Amino acid sequence: MGNDIRPSDVQLIKNAAGVGLVQQASGKRKPEEKLIEEPPDPVAKEAVLFSEEASKEAPVITETPLKESSSASEASDTGLSIIGTTESGALFSTGPSGVVAVLSETPETLPPEQVRLKLDEKGETIPVAKIGLNPPLLCHLADGAPGVFKVTRPDGDPVETKSRQDEAAKEITASGIMREMGVHTILYRDAEAVHEGKSVSGIACEYVKNQNLVSHPERINDISDPDSAVRGSIIDAWLGNFDRIANDGNIWVEPDGKVVYGDYGCAFRQGVTALGLPKVNVKLMERYATKENVEPVLSEIRGLSDDQIAQMVERGSMRSQAATPELKEEMIQTLIRNRDQLRESNPFARYYEQTPSSQGELPRETVSAISQSIVDRFGNGQPSDPGRLAGDAVKGLKVRGFLTEAVVAEGRQELERMLSGQLAGEESSFPVNPNHFFFWQALSKNVLSTQKSMELGLGLK
């Protein structure tokens, strides 16, 4: 990393504001180094470079032991490299000159970024893509750069508003944790815009012009750093983001082949698998996952303590005003449970210990629960014709987005085969096509209670 600084060679210093500073034990430093006044990355606002003046103001407080971090990564745009954490979980970093910084252990929530919505000739907002019930809109970020804005406080239903705010807070927090873990990611933050004379709240991020794997599936052959791409997938799965398995639209590939991650609205769901499949992009993992690039990342996640995870959530949520203490605790507990699941097993080994399979698998308990629920609801509790039961069960599914008519039709055929086996007395798991993931996801939400789905470890809410 260009800096031969060992954790034992540094001391933690705190200034009057409680922000940690670190100096080398030798006291060697460059007097010309100054504080960062306006760093380009919001998280860097909590990082203070060692300076001559700061060292005079603050007493030296040594905090030991300092733990080396195997997840060292370049801190975006600041020139800082994360090289470890203090015992309490605070990150400490070094810049190119050997100057050391520590991120605040108790970061304050940053104010929303003020953005300007881009309008067409009719004065109407311009959606990035006309998909979903809440399409993202084009905007200009505070620095004038092109960006994307998504409304989180719509007029009307307070329940819908609360749901969107929670989802936004999770998306912001997930992107912060991904960035801290060294993943090349879009960074989301709270934002405000004025439209038709009214202030509108939402989240914003940079506008990504790169090609995703839906519009350009051939770009999966051009990935220049497979290890980093796999690393991002595994960390994303630890975050519980189930919107990767069959969705190629939220993984982008830059012209140089570097993978960019984004879209974390489905993060912080319990479990690192859903419907029997790891929460990773099937195509990417089948192509690039190896024992050598998977297991070191698992070791990092397994080695995280509860306190370190809590600190990550605190730092990741600093860009969100909707991240309440209760929501933060929910996110913390989800990551702890997901870490514990990874300590018990390696669901990603399927991609390199055997010939990669295009089939997922519904566990026996899940097959039984879905089948029984369908029989109870549509068959009056009595065995009936599997075809009729399957048809009735899918009537309530809304065809939209990735849940196309073709996916519903093919998924119904799988469901009918599964019901036939169950009504014939079979008690076994059931293979499913991962391309039908959105069918099984929607069906599970439709026929199972949230409590039951969580008991079964479906990872769906």
Provide the phi-psi class of 333: left if phi over 0, else alpha when psi is between -120 and 50, else beta: alpha
CA gap 229, 184 in Å, rounded = 9
Q: Is 304 exposed, middle or buried (0-12, 13-18, 19+ CB in 10 A)?
A: buried
- The list of the chain residues with pLDDT below 50 reads 1-106
CATH architecture of 113-206: 2-Layer Sandwich (3.30)
Rg of the chain taking only CA atoms, in angstroms = 24
CB 405 within 8 A of CB 421: no
CB 47 within 8 A of CB 78: yes
Q: Establish how many alpha carbons lie within 13 A of residue 338's alpha carbon, considering only the half-sphere containing its beta carbon.
A: 30
Q: State how far the alpha carbon of 455 is from the alpha carbons of 367, 440, 450, in Å.
A: 13, 17, 9
What is the DSSP annotation of 35-91?
--SS-SSGGGGGB----HHHHHHS-EE---PPEE-TT--EETTTTEEEEEE-TTS-E
Report residue 428 as tokens.
């076994």
CB 86 within 8 A of CB 66: yes
Residue type, 192: E
Domain ranges of the chain: 7-102, 113-206, 211-351, 360-455
Q: State how far the alpha carbon of 205 is from the alpha carbons of 262, 315, 389, in Å.
A: 10, 18, 44
- What is residue 275's predicted lDDT score, i.e. its pLDDT? 79
Residue type, 20: G
Structure letter (DSSP) for residue 191: E
CA gap 397, 334 in Å, rounded = 28
Q: Is 423 exposed, middle or buried (0-12, 13-18, 19+ CB in 10 A)?
A: middle
Q: At what angle do helices 226-238 and 291-302 cross, to 10 degrees?
A: 40
CA gap 407, 399 in Å, rounded = 9
The DSSP element (H or E) to which 414 belongs, if any, is: helix 405-423
- What is residue 223's predicted lDDT score, i.e. its pLDDT? 96
- What is residue 247's predicted lDDT score, i.e. its pLDDT? 82
Residue type, 104: S
Q: Is beta strand 189-195 parallel, antiparallel or unpaired with respect to 113-114?
A: parallel
